[in-house]
Amino acid sequence: VTPTVPVTPTLPVTLTSPVTPPLAITPTGPAAAPALAPGAPPLNLNLNLELSLSLDPPWAAPGDGVTATVTARNPAAVPLPGLTLTTALPAGLLYVAQSGVGFAADPRRQELTWPAGDLHAGAVITGSFQARAQGLALGEMITDTVTATSPALAAAVTATSPALAAAVTAAATLEVVAP
């Protein structure tokens, strides 16, 4: 008689994160699911967001206008709920009133916000606004940054590495030239 022993096959598991910027996930023992509020939907860490910001033209003389265009794309197979895009214009760029497409402005703070809502799987959204170069020296370089936040991005980051920022950013630089 030959005794039989039940064998459970095991496969190597590699954890990756498609969140941009990439999150470092290091297994340290048995996986534990993050705690969720009662009634909350299951946490899906398969999130991704591609974000870009461009300034056209990428140079301006003092007083010239530029168009800032922001594009957000969700290449993931799951929706990204509650997406908000924000930018605080740097000194030297002044928002042109009523020029925001998607964005609403707080002119006192030079801050623009776009509550884009849910970004469905595969969806792309584009918004823009106008700004004017003012009070800048010839050759000066200024950088505008747009930040995308979402409760889902925050949950994914919190569940994997609380030290990381729960946002995705993109930046564009404007060079001041002679008129």
pLDDT 10s digits, 9-61 = 433 333 333 433 333 333 333 333 334 344 544 444 456 788 889 999 998 98
Whole-number pLDDT of residue 32 = 36
Whole-number pLDDT of residue 109 = 83
Question: Quick one: pLDDT band at residue 112, thresholds 50, 70, 90?
Answer: very high
Residue 72 has pLDDT above 50, yes or no: yes
155: left (phi over 0), alpha (psi -120 to 50) or beta: alpha
Give the model confidence (pLDDT) of 143-167 as tens digits.
898 888 888 776 544 444 343 345 6
- Whether the predicted model's global pTM rises above the 0.75 cut: no
Contacts with 152 (C-beta within 8 Å, 6 or more apart), sequence order:
44, 47, 80, 81, 82
